[in-house]
């Protein structure tokens, strides 16, 4: 085109000019720390030059996705040249049917991480307070800091009832600070603990007006159902409650962490606000088609939940056998209290030496624990062998 002919040659002067400085970062971003919420296992592998043989640290589902979801994702590859539907309509419709709500109550994002970022962006002005437990999901403080919010941290309960969220203290902190957002994971990560739906409902009723409860239910499909006539962990669905936003994901029970898809359920006014700021073409095609197929395979979901329940019991028995205190869990992992932070760190390192990737929470009192994802029966057998072998050495070194 004619631009070619019009182009002026670069002058020698311009080449010799020193480089100018470019644009400065915003004041907010400039003062953010260069830390990341999680160091990935791949990074640890590159640092150590050693590959993990057992990946039990990220609460992925080693049972994988439903075969139907797998098939749908393979079919999506055939259409991958096309952008996916920016409204994520089919998946939202299926989710609305599943939960007995309207499509206007559902927004889909690239995982709960994406949705958490959008929520903090939509509701937190610089200086506004978000209440979370100290040691809760690290991506929450990452986003709070990223938008200039202020964290109010509440220590986990640590008594005969086990390590768990302190609902009274969380509600007290929210009222004291006039918090905008309150984050609660139920079931909880990294403890695995959980509250019944009626306890969550009572907690919600204690929060200050003008606040929104982010109820992260990433693991809820894995929670035990002792008595089908008892709602148990499930908070009854009132999608128009202006005080509540529920977060769900396909990364855990559905086995699709690598696909990036999660959703929020909330009142239409809040859901509509996402459209003002979300990446409209952000939820990829494989994720959309895979999630839709995964939802239909309820048998597979039940199979995974049953396998995970079996694994939790095995882990609990193993921990007790070795003198650790396994925390009750409604998730696909078990936090094992090994007595001290020193011991937990030593165990983490010793397991890494053996090619086992697990994690430990950083904040006290949780830092007495290591957190182990429920693997397949074969993986659990290998893990048990390794743990039985190295545990005496770890306790010996940690004691000395």
- Restricting to residues 205-264, which ones interact with a copy of itself according to CB under 8 A? 205, 209-212, 240-244, 251, 255-260
CB of 49 to a copy of itself, least distance (A): 14
CB of 60 to a copy of itself, least distance (A): 5
Nearer to a copy of itself among residue 240 and residue 296 (C-beta): 240
Nearer to a copy of itself among residue 287 and residue 356 (C-beta): 287
Q: Which of residues 301-340 bind a copy of itself (CB under 8 A)?
A: 328, 330
88: left (phi over 0), alpha (psi -120 to 50) or beta: left
Name which position in 95, 117, 177, 190 contacts a copy of itself (CB under 8 A): 117
For residues 243 and 213, the answer to whether their CB atoms sit within 8 Å is yes
Name which position in 275, 321, 353, 399 contacts a copy of itself (CB under 8 A): 275
Nearer to a copy of itself among residue 230 and residue 399 (C-beta): 230
Q: Write down the H helix ranges in the chain.
A: 3-6, 12-16, 27-30, 41-48, 67-77, 89-99, 112-123, 139-146, 167-177, 197-206, 268-275, 285-296, 298-321, 341-353, 377-399
DSSP label at residue 323:
T
Binding segment toward a copy of itself, per CB under 8 A, in 21-29, 312-320, 336-344, 380-388: 21-29
Give the relative orientation of helices 167-177 and 197-206 as an angle to the nearest 10 degrees. Answer: 20
Task: Tell me: does residue 381 bind a copy of itself (CB under 8 A).
Answer: no
Binding mask 338-377 for a copy of itself (x = CB under 8 A): ----------------------------------------
How many residues at the interface with a copy of itself, by CB under 8 A? Answer: 116
Q: Give CA–CA dist 350/327, Å, rounded.
A: 21
Q: How many CB atoms lie within 10 A of CB 168?
A: 12
CB of 291 to a copy of itself, least distance (A): 11
Nearer to a copy of itself among residue 27 and residue 400 (C-beta): 27
Nearer to a copy of itself among residue 236 and residue 392 (C-beta): 236
**Separation in Å, CA 249 to CA 142, 147, 220, 262, 275:** 19, 23, 9, 4, 19
Task: Tell me: does residue 189 bind a copy of itself (CB under 8 A).
Answer: no
Q: Which of residues 38-77 bind a copy of itself (CB under 8 A)?
A: 38, 40, 42-43, 46, 55, 58, 60-65, 70, 73-74, 76-77
Task: Tell me: does residue 295 bind a copy of itself (CB under 8 A).
Answer: no
CB of 70 to a copy of itself, least distance (A): 6
Q: Write down the H helix ranges in 207-329.
A: 268-275, 285-296, 298-321
Residues, the chain: 400
Q: What DSSP line would sit under 14-40, residue for residue?
A: HHHSPP---PPPPHHHHTS-S--S---
Max Cα–Cα distance, the chain, nearest Å = 81
Task: Tell me: does residue 131 bind a copy of itself (CB under 8 A).
Answer: no
What distance, in Å, lies between the first and last C-alpha atoms of the chain?
77
Nearer to a copy of itself among residue 227 and residue 400 (C-beta): 227
CB of 273 to a copy of itself, least distance (A): 6
CB of 115 to a copy of itself, least distance (A): 10
Q: Give CA–CA dist 335/326, Å, rounded.
A: 6
């Amino acid at each position: 085109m004619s631009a070619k002919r019009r182009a002026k040659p670069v002058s020698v002067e311009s080449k010799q000019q020193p480089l100018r400085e470019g644009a400065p970062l915003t004041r907010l971003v400039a003062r953010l720390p260069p830390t990341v919420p999680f160091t990935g296992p791949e990074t640890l592998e590159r640092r150590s030059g050693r590959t993990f043989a057992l990946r039990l640290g990220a609460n992925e589902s080693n049972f994988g996705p439903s075969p139907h979801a797998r098939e749908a994702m393979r079919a999506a590859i055939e259409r991958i040249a096309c952008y996916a539907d920016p409204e994520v309509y089919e998946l939202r419709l299926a989710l609305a049917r599943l939960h007995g709500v309207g499509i206007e109550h559902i927004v889909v994002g690239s995982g709960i991480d994406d949705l958490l970022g959008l929520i903090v962006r939509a509701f937190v002005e610089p200086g506004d307070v978000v209440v979370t437990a100290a040691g809760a999901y690290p991506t929450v403080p990452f986003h709070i800091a990223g938008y200039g919010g202020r964290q109010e941290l509440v220590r986990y309960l640590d008594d005969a009832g086990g390590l768990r969220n302190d609902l009274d203290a969380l509600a007290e902190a929210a009222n004291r600070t006039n918090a905008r957002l309150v984050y609660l994971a139920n079931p909880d990560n990294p403890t695995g603990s959980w509250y019944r739906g009626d306890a969550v409902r009572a907690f919600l009723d204690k929060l200050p007006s003008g606040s929104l409860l982010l109820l992260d239910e990433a693991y809820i499909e894995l929670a035990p159902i002792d008595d089908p006539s008892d709602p148990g962990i499930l908070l009854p669905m009132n999608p128009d409650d202006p005080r509540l936003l529920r977060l769900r994901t396909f990364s855990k029970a559905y086995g699709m962490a690598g696909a990036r898809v999660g959703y929020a359920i909330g009142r239409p006014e809040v859901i509509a606000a996402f459209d003002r700021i979300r990446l409209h073409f952000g939820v990829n095609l494989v994720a959309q088609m895979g999630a839709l197929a995964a939802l239909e395979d309820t048998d597979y979901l039940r199979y995974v939940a049953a396998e995970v329940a079996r694994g939790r019991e095995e882990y609990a028995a193993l921990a007790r056998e070795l003198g650790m205190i396994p925390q009750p869990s409604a998730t696909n992992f078990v936090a094992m209290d090994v007595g001290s932070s020193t011991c937990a760190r030593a165990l983490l390192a010793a397991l890494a030496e053996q090619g086992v990737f697990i994690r430990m929470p950083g904040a006290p009192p949780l830092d007495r624990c290591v957190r182990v994802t429920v693997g397949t029966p074969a993986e659990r057998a290998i893990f048990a062998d390794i743990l039985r072998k190295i545990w005496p050495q770890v306790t010996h070194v940690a004691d000395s």
